[in-house]
Amino acid sequence: METRYTVRQAAEMTGIKAYVMRYWEEELDLHIQRNELGHRYYTGSDIQLFMNIKELKKRGLQLRAIRDLIPQILYTAADTDKNNFQLLEGDTEEIPPQDSLNNITEKEGENVTDPKILEFQAILERLITQEIRSKNEDEERFRSLDLAIRKQQMARREIAAALSDKRSTRETRIHKNI
């Protein structure tokens, strides 16, 4: 049977606050298993998934973009060893046994040379670049649209002011003639 971790244990292992893990679970529509009492428990693959999400957030991706990448992350995670989890940066960290959770320490991982992992990282980098480029293009499009709207509003104000001046000039002439 696969080792199960509580929310507190998973938070210590990943360095992610428990409330953030619950928020990501809800926002990313993650399916975290629950025990008989309805309490969440995390497996090694769940820990790996949260570490990958943490890395993507660190790289600047929004949760909407990460949600689209979750199937790819899960597919790649299925190919990894159950006792290790792969970070997107290429580090490997051992999941500590449950009895040594109090002595969790960070260690430097080995360089991953698995072609599938490298290919996955390349795909993620391309997706991240595309997402950032798309975001920048959208921002530029919205800026130009905003500028066009402002110019249109300014033109309408000028026309309204010119018409108002003409009306007041006419009214002044009419009143002088009476």
User: What is the reported pTM?
Assistant: 0.47
**Domains of the chain, residue spans:** 7-139
DSSP string, the chain: ----B-HHHHHHHHT--HHHHHHHHHHTT----B-TTS-B-B-HHHHHHHHHHHHHHHTT--HHHHHHHHHHHHHHHHTS-TTEEE-TTS-EEEPPPGGGGGG----PPPPP--HHHHHHHHHHHHHHHHHHHHHHHHHHHHHHHHHHHHHHHHHHHHHHHHHHHHHHHHHHHHHHH-
**Would you say domain 7-139 falls under CATH 1.10.1660.10?**
yes
* For the ranges 23-32, 109-118, 130-139, the one whose mean pLDDT is highest: 23-32
Instruction: Summarize pLDDT for 46-83 with one digit per residue, the tens.
Output: 888 899 899 888 888 888 888 888 887 777 666 554 43
State the pLDDT at residue 72: 77
Instruction: Summarize pLDDT for 126-161 with one digit per residue, the tens.
Output: 888 777 777 778 788 888 888 999 999 999 999 988
